[in-house]
């Protein structure tokens, strides 16, 4: 009986440690996700770095000579980020200002040249 208690005590201690670490890392990831806001997702090979683009949207407008940065993270809406702002194209002007356009409204992204 004493051997059973020793083995059971050891296994219970390891299980309790795993549960405590899992809870700790879950709380830590939720805190980091809420504090971070949103992230920009880049696709390698989609549009080369330093290239300027013209973006044409559904209503006929076009945004010209902007640098493509990426897309806002689709999973950001689960972290308190508005659903409408979760799927946006992120662009940058020559002055360094960020431009966000709804990904659903983009008709075409035209690669026009390098920013240099």
Spatial separation of the C-alpha atoms in residues 8 and 15, rounded to whole Å: 10
Residue 80: left if φ>0, alpha if ψ -120 to 50, beta else—which one? left
This model's pTM is above 0.75: no
Q: Quick one: average pLDDT of 75-99?
A: 74
CATH placement of domain 40-114:
2.30.30
Closest CA to 53 of 21, 90, 82: 90
Mean pLDDT of the chain: 80
Distance, first Cα to last Cα, the chain:
78
pLDDT at 55 over 90: yes
Predicted pLDDT at 116: 55
């Amino acid at each position: 009986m004493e051997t059973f208690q020793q083995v059971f005590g050891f296994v219970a201690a390891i299980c309790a440690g795993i549960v405590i670490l899992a809870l700790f890392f879950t709380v830590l990831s939720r805190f980091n996700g809420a504090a971070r806001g949103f992230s920009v997702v880049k696709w390698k090979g989609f549009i080369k770095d330093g290239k300027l683009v013209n973006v044409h949207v559904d209503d006929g407008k076009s945004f010209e000579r902007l640098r493509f940065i990426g897309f806002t993270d689709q999973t950001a809406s689960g972290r308190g980020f508005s659903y409408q702002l979760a799927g946006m194209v992120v662009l940058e002007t020559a002055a360094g200002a960020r431009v966000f356009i709804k990904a659903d409204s983009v008709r075409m992204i035209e690669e026009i040249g390098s920013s240099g």
